[in-house]
Chain A
Amino acid sequence: MGNRAGMNRMVGLIVGVSLYGLCFSMVYAEVPVYQIVIRDHLFFPAELAIPAGQKIKLLVLNQDPTPEEFESFELNREKVIKGMHKAVIFIGPLNPGRYPYFGEFHPETAQGMIVAE
């Protein structure tokens, strides 16, 4: 195999993999919206019930002047939300169960739970 053929094959592969990412269709179906508020480094409601097996849109409103990071290992989600800002986070579909999340910048108090049922 010559240099050219090798390089071409490599470039082809890289381009192929990039295009693969575009193959996922962008689906904007109607998804139910749920809201969580951050105030005084606490989450309201502390426990939020959502339907299992379904994608939902979570609106997180940070009403504190300080930034917070919504973080959950169980949900595989992390997002920085600046003070007095809101964030959009899509979650699920989830198996039924309890999924803890926390505010990484104030974990002493900012603890919450999402319950998929």
Chain B
Amino acid sequence: MTISAVIIILREVLEAALLVSLLLSSSMLIGVSRRGVIAGMVLGFIGATLVTWQFDRISDSFEGVGQEVFNAVLLVTIVLLLSIYCAYMKEDAARNRRNLHAPMIIACLIIALALTREGVEVFIFIYGFSGIPADLLSVLVGGAMGAGIGISLGVLMFYGLINLSGKHRMMVPRTLFALIAAGMASQSVVYLMQGGLIESRLPVWDTSPWIPENSVTGQLLYALLGYEATPTSIQLLVYGMTLLVFIVVTAIAHRR
């Protein structure tokens, strides 16, 4: 029981922790207050609580595929917000006072939505064991271990990012934002296919013999790049288009 709790919580916390550390370090980099990220974490916690409370109603909507619709909408919204945030990713953003509030609010919303999404699964998992005291303790211990590993990796990435030098300072976080967003956009397509809302196709390739999705590398690549061993053509198209949007946004932000 403990091991599966470690894995479940780690998977959810890792995705959120990487995004939090990326937004925290970027906010510092462009001179924007970090309060947005902190407020986002509080809002995300409240969001996850509310969604867990209304989970049945959400699940049963849209003829039983409300969960998929909810996740897809949340992911697409996060992707759009990330693209707007990237438009503010300039070293001198803080020089223009007008530019200070918008990225802070956007960072807050991104974190709130991401934590809501990841938090719901954690809450439902733990809540499911609340009636079984014998299992609850090992679930909580395992969960704390998983959360600890996930947060540690986030902290490690945070210090890595703020210690980058020269041209890498901007390029690395921008690239990570684009890759994470592309992975999320591709994931939203999977949810729509799972809900039968768009037609699925046979996968284009299968890289699972080299990097299985359930391996540590696979999971880390999933959190960072949205790695999937057997993607469909629609996913690849959406992934590529999202990357293109981020490249264009960055190019425009640079010219201004």
Contact = CB atoms under 8 A, between A and B. Distances in A.
Interface of A: 1, 3, 6-7, 9-10, 13-14, 17-18, 20-21, 24, 26-28, 31, 53, 55, 57, 65-67, 69, 73-74, 76-77, 79-80, 82-83, 85-90, 92-95, 104-108
B193 A90 contact: yes
Contacts of B8: 104-105
Nearest to A87: B64
B241 A10 contact: no
A90 B67 contact: no
Contact of B56 (A31, A79, A82, A92): A82
B229 A73 contact: yes
A27 B241 CA distance: 24
Interface in B189-208: 190, 192-203, 208
Contact of A106 (B4, B120, B208): B4
B245 A17 contact: yes
B211 to A, nearest CB: 11
Interface string B194-233: 1111111111000010001110001000000000111000
A76 B228 contact: yes
B166 interface: no
A3 B242 CA distance: 22
B230 A74 contact: yes
Given A24-B199, A87-B59, A104-B4, A17 B64 contact: no
Interface stretch (B105-113, B123-131, B152-160): B123-131
Given A86-B64, A104-B4, A13 B196 contact: no
Nearest to B195: A90
A18 B79 CA distance: 11
B208 A108 contact: no
Contacts of B197: 26
B64 A66 contact: no
Interface stretch (B24-32, B91-99, B248-256): B248-256
Interface of B: 1, 4, 8, 55-56, 59, 63-65, 67-68, 76, 80, 83, 87, 120-121, 124-125, 127-129, 131-132, 190, 192-203, 208, 212-214, 218, 228-230, 234, 238, 241-242, 245, 248-249, 252, 255-256
Given A17-B241, A20-B241, A55-B196, A88 B63 contact: yes
Q: Which secondary structure dominates where chain B touches chain A?
A: helix
A113 to B, nearest CB: 15
Contacts of A7: 252
Contacts of A90: 193-196, 200
A80 B202 contact: no
B252 A85 contact: no
Given A55-B199, A69-B125, A80-B67, 17 more contacts: A13-B248, A14-B80, A20-B241, A24-B198, A65-B131, A67-B127, A79-B68, A80-B121, A82-B55, A83-B128, A88-B64, A88-B65, A90-B193, A90-B195, A94-B202, A105-B125, A106-B4
Nearest to B201: A93
Contacts of A65: 131
Contacts of B193: 90
Nearest to B79: A17
A69 B230 contact: no
Most buried by B among A10, A27, A65, A77: A10
